[in-house]
Amino acid sequence: MTYYGKCIEMVVKHLDRFQPEKDSPEQFLEATAASLQTLSPQKQAFIMEILSGCLEYHKLLTIVVDAFYVRDGRLCLRADYSLFEVICYLATFQLEELGFQLFRDVVRSQPVHKVCQFLRFLFNPLNLGSWIKDEWSLVYETSHVKENWIDPLMRWQPEIQELIDQLQGELTSQLSPPKSKAKVTEPKELSLTTPRPRAIPMPEPVPQVAKTRPVPRSTYQAPKEQRLLEMTKRYNRWKAEELLLQANFEELRCAVPRSRGEPQLQDSKKKPRLRLPPRILKAQKLTFYTPNDNAPVKLNTAAILREGALYQRQVEKELQRVDRLVDGAGDFSEFLEWQRRMQAKDREEQLAAGEVRRLRGKLSHEEAVLARQQVAREKRRMAELKKEETAELMQRCTERRLQEEKSMKELVEQVMETQKNVRVAQTELRKGRRRIAQEVTEENRELLQRSAEAAKEEQRRRCTLISQLRALEFQPTRRGKLVDLTQIPGHGLEGEMSVVELRERLALLKETRRRQEEERRDQIIQGKRAKSQELRDTVEQVALCRAAMGRSAALRSKKARGPGENPPGAVPRGCEGTLPWHLNLSGPPRRGPPKPAPPPAQVGGEEGAVGGCRSALPRRACARAAAPDPGEGGRAARAGGPGARAGAASEH
């Protein structure tokens, strides 16, 4: 900080010597640069840059500093005028280049109270946006003033305000405590009546407060119902995984074809036995029951959303595959040709850019040569002008010397003449002194008379005040204190308010909290209703998709089946009675007579199968579901849901 303080002090000293009416800025800068030769190059550059900037923008700086002395700086000294100019120049034109850290160091090196007062005036948004902008616009263009000077100052205003507050706090903490004032004479009351001493009140017994109950442990533990629900969820998930694993292991073994004489696979370590003719056992005939599609199946939220997302992903994959086929996926010859063309074009552009750079470099070299020649010519011209100015200055000095010699001769002649008339002058001087002494005596007499009258008036006023004070002392005083609930205490705290206002605000706060709780309760109820409605919509969509896919699978299996083949729902010969009940999609076998199959009109052909899907899936997905696919017929019949089972049962 000492470094910047010395530099700013030298700039201020040189600015105080500058006189705009007499001195030329160029000559003044040259003389200043010659006087700073003893300093380091860094200091010289810093001082010369600030000094030249202050001289260049002298009009703008003068406008701001003069207004500061008129408005907020009426108590500031005129000797600090140049210091305020330097601070204004650094804040307005050099703040972006110096940076906030360096500007803060420069400000800290100067008197804190002066700099704080000036920066608060300069960075006031009202001043910047009103009269400073208008006054500067009279010298420069309005757009240039706003974009280059006013807007940057407005951007830096929050940081500068923080710096001002920090410096003000340091200044306040550094101030020494005020000196203790002399003891003032306090008047004593007349001891006419001595009041009785107040009686000491009896101490009140301390009330016994009941012991509070400790907080129960259940407050910090989860409820028992929630823990039971978590255990139930984990058990159900484990049970579902076990059932899934068991179903994957115990697949339909009777569906695997093999020849009649093929022996079963055995361990290689055992010896081969004799091949016996196969023994055909007559199994019991299976009885198929018509599934009840209208039976309600209770699904949880996760199962419903999972199945809906599965159908949605299938539709999206099919749409992406069709879009890729439409866009011609799989043919890379056009892309490779386009890539080659683009690479060739890039190479041509790079060669052209290199040629342009080479020509620009050559052109810049020629421009630099011409600029050096122009600089040399300008220097020669300046040297000639300097010689002419020097000759003119020498001529002026000669003329001035002759005038001074002439004025000295005239002064000598005047002195000779005055020596001849010394006695006359002495007589006139004595008369003037006597006259002045008489006037001073009269003025002193008048002043003494006025001071005596003022002393009498002051004595009279003091007597009046003393009589008024004595009258006030003898007046009865009210010892009680009235309480006004609508009055503000006035302790000087922030946000003070009366008791009535405090009660009103507490009532409003309670009302606001109650209203927020009601709104939150309504939002929770609406969210639950929306979630339940969404689950119902998803269940309906999944049911429609299952029915459509079942119908389409039944139609494809009916078309693909020959006249002598078994229907999709029949079981091959030799496997009757071996189908486990947990693989039957309709559930475990039911007791009682079989129900009649639905009429063939429920199948309805391709249009009936696709019609149930149009309400839940896009048009392309419905078309795909209606198209025959031999490879997926069996899978759709097994996993298609209630619709596929209904179609198979009706065909059987």
H or E element at residue 471: helix 422-474
Identify the pLDDT of residue 295.
54
What does the radius of gyration of the chain's CA atoms come to, in whole angstroms? 55
Helices marked H in 140-216 — which ranges? 142-145, 151-174
Identify the pLDDT of residue 110.
84
Give the integer Cα–Cα distance in Å for 32 and 46: 13
Per-residue pLDDT of 475-525, as tens digits, reads: 777 666 677 888 888 888 888 888 899 999 999 999 999 999 999 999 999
Identify the pLDDT of residue 632.
40
Band of pLDDT at residue 280, cut at 50, 70 and 90: low
List of residues 6+ apart from 559 with CB closer than 8 A: 628
pLDDT at residue 564 greater than cutoff 80: no
Per-residue pLDDT of 26-56, as tens digits, reads: 888 888 888 888 888 888 888 888 888 888 8
Percentages (nearest 5) of helix, strand, coil residues in the chain: 70, 0, 30
Q: Which has more confidence, 577 or 28? A: 28
Average pLDDT of the segment spanning 627-642: 41
Q: Is 555 exposed, middle or buried (0-12, 13-18, 19+ CB in 10 A)?
A: buried
List of residues 6+ apart from 620 with CB closer than 8 A: 315, 318, 319, 322
**Among the listed ranges 53-57, 260-264, 365-369, 644-648, which one has the minimum average pLDDT value?**
644-648
552-to-289, 391, 564, 634, 645 alpha-carbon distances in Å: 22, 114, 22, 12, 12
Dihedral over alpha carbons 408, 413, 414, 415 (to 10 degrees): 90
Identify the pLDDT of residue 269.
44
How many C-beta atoms surround the C-beta of residue 350 within 10 A?
10
